[in-house]
Structure 1
Amino acid sequence: MRYLVFILITLLFFNCREKLDKKKIEVKEPTVVKVVDTVIEPEKKLKSFDGLADTTFVRLADFSDDFAYDMRYATENNFLKAKVYDCAECYTRVKTAKALIEANKDFMDKGAKIKFFDCYRPNSVQYKMWEIVPNPQYVADPVKGSIHNKGGAVDITLVDMDGNELDMGTDFDFFGKKAYHDNLDLPQEILDNRKLLKETMEAHGFWSIRTEWWHYNLSAASNDKVANFRWDCND
């Protein structure tokens, strides 16, 4: 009897072991989580005018993010067909920059903003332009200089908030009657756009010239000296 019980126990043991051996134990692969480094660009900190004299030259983009730029004289896409700036920058005197920022706030309230073609122009650049086109009808005589050389003049247009230029009837630096402010023989949309530009700029101390819808001088800069300040293109 004992022998029979021993045999039954032995058979049961080996049967259980065989089942355990045959049973597949699933081992899950460890989940690999890839960590991607996210670089968060620091928010650009705009500069303040505090402590700066009105006649100090400043880079406009350091004080406002709300402008658009197409600095034509840093390219060959201009009436000179020549690049006369080493790099594209828009500098003005502090008082001009302040007036432009205030004017731009008004434009933005109406769904537009300023786009620059030219700003302060060093007198040495004025000489370069005169060498290419020595005609006072198109280029100011560098001996006398222009308000551009004083940091008080800008050449501008308007763009919508998506960056599309408003139709002003001609391109920048178009020399002909179609660019004149007193030419009213134009579609109403163009007249309205020019009116918006002119009236808003005048409300902030700028005045225009009759033959160029894009050119505006700050009245307060008229008596400033012609300058030859040059910006660093490595900044």
Structure 2
Amino acid sequence: MKPSVLFVILLVLASCRNETKPSEKGQNKKDTLKITENKVVMEQITDTTPTLVYKSLEGLADTTFVRLADYSGDFAYDLRYATENNFLKAKVYDCAECYTRVKTAKALLKANKEFIDKGYKIKFFDCYRPNSVQYKMWKIVPNPQYVANPVKGSIHNKGGAVDITLVTLKGEELDMGTDFDFFGKRAYHDNLDLPQEILDNRLLLKTTMEKHGFWSIRTEWWHYNLSAGSNDKVANFKWDCPE
């Protein structure tokens, strides 16, 4: 074999090795391509995620019962009577849901919007309460100081009362001085012998709720009645629970 031919063969082999072994620069380009591809996939997943669409209260009669979570995702819930974590020490709801009359829901949505603008939102402990549940509660604690007599009923049974507190937008409860359903002087609105932070938190809740048509009970910082709901009839509407 002539030397010139051998030189050409060696040159070709060296060229093949350079083509099959990726350079550092080429490897970086490949990695960048992978990242770019992953980014595209992530963007596609984000773009195809369905957006929750909430119902509108427009056109509904004021006395219609509605599930509040169907009309806004901006509330928080800790519905105590669907658990044993309450003063009754008993579960009296079959499942946890927050229903109100339409007019109550409209007022709550407006109040919550104002709270959100200030960095807070409403958290519910109790909402509409079927009259049959009121009878259960009365059987456990037959004391009108703590439980309304079911024969007459309460505004909870009319869909016009809520038990609430405030939480930050991250879900942290504001200090109100006592837990929900604490029956004692420390829970009274007119008890001013409390730290200023607690008084300020209660005042924020009270003034905002009153601005939107609710009134409070002197002995319970968490309880609010819609003024326009006090004349409605006691109801025993029951919601369906998931199977």
- TM-score tier, shorter chain, comes to 0.7 to 0.9
Distance 1:24 1:134, change over 3 A: same
Aligned to 2:130: 122
2: CA distance, partners of 1:95 / 1:233:
24
1:220 equivalent in alignment to 2:211: no
- 1:153 corresponds, among 128, 148, 161, to 161
The amino acid of 2:167's aligned partner reads V
1: CA distance, partners of 2:120 / 2:3:
90
Aligned to 2:215: 207
Aligned to 2:146: 138
Post-superposition shift, 1:11? 2.5
- 1:19 corresponds, among 7, 10, 30, to 10
Post-superposition shift, 1:79? 0.7
The amino acid of 1:19's aligned partner reads L
Post-superposition shift, 1:113? 1.9
1:195 equivalent in alignment to 2:186: no
Post-superposition shift, 1:221? 0.8
Post-superposition shift, 1:142? 1.6
Distance 1:22 1:137, change over 3 A: same
* Structure 1 segment 1-235 matched on structure 2, within 5 A: 11-12=2-3, 15-16=6-7, 18-19=9-10, 23=14, 25-26=16-17, 27=20, 36=41, 38=45, 40-234=48-242
Distance 1:192 1:21, change over 3 A: closer
Aligned residues: 226
**TM-score, with structure 2 as normaliser:** 0.83
Q: What are the Cα deviations for residues 168-227 of structure 1, in whole angstroms up to 9, with x where unaligned? A: 111100011111112121122212221221122112111111111110111111111111
The structure that is helix-richer by fraction is 2
The amino acid of 2:16's aligned partner reads I
| Identity among equivalent pairs (%) | 75
Kindly report structure 1 stretches of 4+ aligned residues shifted beyond 3 Å. 20-24, 28-37
Q: What are the Cα deviations for residues 101-126 of structure 1, in whole angstroms up to 9, with x where unaligned? A: 11122222333221111001111211
Instruction: Mark the runs of 5 or more structure 1 residues left unpaired by the alignment.
Output: 1-9
2: CA distance, partners of 1:89 / 1:166:
23
The amino acid of 1:108's aligned partner reads I
Post-superposition shift, 1:24? 6.2
The amino acid of 1:64's aligned partner reads S
Distance 1:28 1:87, change over 3 A: farther
2: CA distance, partners of 1:43 / 1:166:
30
Of structures 1 and 2, the larger Rg is shown by: 1
